[in-house]
Amino acid sequence: MTAFIFIVLIVGGTAALSWPLGRYIQWAMDPAADVGPRRRGLDRLFERIAGKLGRDAQGWKKYILAMLAFNVVMFVVSFAFLAFQHYLPLNPDGMKAIEGSLIFNTAASFTSNTNLQHYSGESTMSYLSQLCALMWLQFVSPAVGLAALAAMARGLAGRQQMGNFFIDVQRATFLVLVPLALIMATLMVQGGMPMTLSGAAHATTLEGAEQVIARGPVAAFLAIKQLGTNGGGFFGPNSTHPLENPTFWTNVLATMSIIIIPMACVWMFGRIIGRMRHAAVVFGVMLLLMGTRIAGAVLFESAPTRAFASLPIEQTDGNLEGKELRFGAAAGPLWAVVTTSTSNGSVNCMHDSLNPLTGLMPMIGMWLNEDFGGVGVGMINMFVYIILAVFLAGMMVGRTPEYLNRRVEAREVKLAVLALLAQSLFILVGTAVFAVTPWGTKTLNNAGAHGFSEMLYEFSSASANNGSGFEGLGDNTPPWNIATGVVMLLARFIPIIVPLAIAGSLAAKRPTAQSAGTLGVEDGTFGVMLTAVVVIIGALTFFPAAALGPIVEHLQFMV
């Protein structure tokens, strides 16, 4: 009962806060024509900063090209910082050069808002690399996602011009992410989180031994790590580290900050398209799917771990292996589902230690990849499912499918299917290749079904731009670094480009008059249809892989 109240307060409280935040983000990203002089002044400042690049409104094609060019610059700049960190300042602990494939993987990871980490930050990265490469990307990569969602919403609202990417990315960074990160970092410092540019602290233990304690600008890094659905930890153990998550209350704040902006993005989307009831239906579907996985994770983790099955130990509190006991038994499963419902990927427990079916819940979140997703891109991914749901519902009743008074035809459906197929191919093909080659088999610490789950989870995390992992896997090798790096980049931009193209195609069509036969997207019937489409597509695509991994492992434990 205590666990249930804990979960309801966190998820319910965050959902309530997302409503006013959604209004604010809409004001920041898509101001009304009659907005006040101060807000107009901010946009004029952004236009001066962007120069010629920020003067013209862009259609969907130009918007995509601008986004891709900006991301190429992001990748190159971060790659250079990482490659030359041993020659650059702000390196008080003397961090050495980084191996080439790891540089590529890390630059791809943070550029794509994945933050998959095949390294431990406190023993690999200088302060300059952490701040000017990685933390910088943790601001601008979610800003790219939020800008893309705003552009897509404008297209669906019937605007031929989707805005200007260079203005939108500044709005997202300076009006949304920076202010929220400043508030969060201040709260985290008050909670005991370090914030310093000094080198590691040296202490003498009671036994007389010298201990080196890594520290740094942790609070600044942590704030945007969570709010931007980034997930990249300052320390290798991520939010299981006591300096990255000092208290029960910092754990609560971090959990809420992971999902608050993705939740608010749904309301921002509804305000821009002028369909708040539709946004409420979508929000409800997302909350239902996430809540079901949270309940499942907490239930499955209430069973004791099989690691102690042969020992004379009586367990009454469920699986406590790999958990931070300061936070309570339910905090680990809750975080595991929340962080994979978004593209966050941070952890406050060891996912590799979860019971098999508990570990399946985060995987399902990454396979479906639609509730509430990353900043901006979560709602973009759900839009793909919405298009398919509208199409299938229209075919079932014998009418031409329509979405927001515009016909959904073969071109839009083909593009939506392409986006979903790309996600599944990246996960399943990558897992299959590594499961039958030394690239994967020689990096496993566990044989059998659990070892397969480790590889399946890694490619799921890379494809969903998540970043968490079953860390029994020795993944810091050139094959893993290159393969997951390529997957992260492709899986970041295909699911953004395709929905923008769909929105651009719909925007170019003449609106149709609404009639009694028009399919409604603002009622419970559509919510049921949308839920069914998400669940059925996910089950048909990924159930065979789940059966080979977590499900088989669970059945083996029952024998």
The reply to whether 476 falls in a domain is no
Contact between 521 and 390 (Cβ < 8 Å) = yes
Instruction: Report residue 263 CA to chain centroid gap.
Output: 12
Identify the pLDDT of residue 559.
Answer: 61
Of the pLDDT bands very low, low, confident and very high (cuts 50, 70, 90), residue 337 is very high
Alpha-carbon span 279 to 42, nearest angstrom = 28
| Lowest mean pLDDT, pick from 94-103, 125-134, 309-318, 428-437 | 309-318
Give the distance, in angstroms, between the CA of residue 186 and the centroid of all CA atoms in the same chain: 23
Does the residue 497 lie in any domain?
A: no
Above pLDDT 70, what percent of the chain?
Answer: 97
Provide the token pair at 6.
Answer: 């804990």
Q: Is residue 44 part of a domain?
A: yes
pLDDT confidence bin for 130, thresholds 50/70/90: confident
Instruction: Sort 209 into a burial class: Cβ within 10 Å, 0-12 / 13-18 / 19+.
Output: exposed
Q: Using one digit for the tens of pLDDT, what is the confidence trace for 281-291?
A: 999 999 999 99
List Cβ neighbours of 126 (8 Å cut-off, separation of 6 or more).
85, 86, 88, 90, 91, 93, 95
Q: Which residue has the higher pLDDT, 42 or 35?
A: 42
Asked whether residue 426 is assigned to any structural domain, the reply reads no
- Please give the average per-residue pLDDT across 73-92, as a whole number: 92
Is-contact 200 194, C-beta < 8 A? no
Average pLDDT of span 144-165: 93
Residue 42 lies in a domain: yes
List, in sequence order, every beta strand (DSSP E) within 147-222: 201-204, 210-213
Q: How far is 7 from 251, CA to CA, in rounded Å?
A: 13
- Binned at pLDDT 50, 70 and 90, residue 1 comes out as low
In a domain, 23, yes or no: yes
Residue 138 buriedness (CB in 10 A; 0-12 / 13-18 / 19+): buried
pLDDT tens, residue by residue, 214-266: 787 888 888 999 999 998 888 878 888 888 888 889 999 999 999 999 999 99
User: pLDDT value at position 161?
Assistant: 87
Residue 421's pLDDT is 92
Give the Cα separation of 210 and 198 in Å (integer).
18
Q: What is the mean pLDDT of residues 506-517?
A: 78
The model's confidence at residue 307, banded by pLDDT at 50, 70 and 90, is low
Asked if 484 contacts 462 with a C-beta cutoff of 8 angstroms, the reply is yes
| Count of other CB atoms within 10 angstroms of residue 52 | 8
Bridge partner list, 212: 202
Question: Tens of pLDDT along 58-71?
Answer: 999 999 999 999 99
Per-residue pLDDT, averaged over 361-371, amounts to: 91
Residues present in the chain in total: 559
| Residue 271 to residues 63, 150, 416, 529, Cα–Cα distance (Å) | 21, 10, 23, 23
Q: Considering only 4-8, 104-108, 530-534, 543-547, which range has the smallest mean pLDDT? A: 4-8
Q: Nearest Cα to 108, choosing from 146, 64, 74?
A: 74
Average confidence (pLDDT) over 362-391:
92
Average per-residue pLDDT for the chain: 89
Distance (Å, whole) CA 239 – CA 244: 5
Q: How confident is the model at residue 517 (pLDDT cuts 50, 70, 90)?
A: low
Question: Radius of gyration (Cα) for the chain, nearest Å?
Answer: 23
Residue 122's domain comprises 2-199+214-273
Q: Does a structural domain hold residue 66?
A: yes
Distance CA 151, CA 64 (A): 10
Measured between alpha carbons, how far is residue 41 from residues 36, 37, 57, 270 in Å? 9, 6, 18, 26
Phi, psi angle pair for 349, to nearest 5° = -150, 170
Please say whether the beta carbons of 417 and 388 come within 8 A.
yes
pLDDT at 159 over 90: no
CA nearest 485: which of 456, 457, 455, 465? 465
Predicted confidence at residue 386, as pLDDT, reads 95
| Res 464 pLDDT > 90 | yes
Helix (H, G, I), strand (E, B) or coil at 525: helix
Do 116 and 203 meet the contact criterion of CB atoms below 8 Å apart?
no
Q: What is the pLDDT of residues 165-206, one digit of tens each?
A: 999 999 999 999 999 999 999 999 998 888 887 877 888 888
Distance separating alpha carbons of residues 167 and 70, to the nearest angstrom:
12
pLDDT at 133 > cutoff 90 = no
Tell me how many domains the chain contains. Answer: 1
The three-state (H, E, C) secondary structure of 217-250, written as one string? CHHHHHHHHHHCCCCCCCCCCHHHCCCCCCCHHH
Average pLDDT over residues 536-551: 93
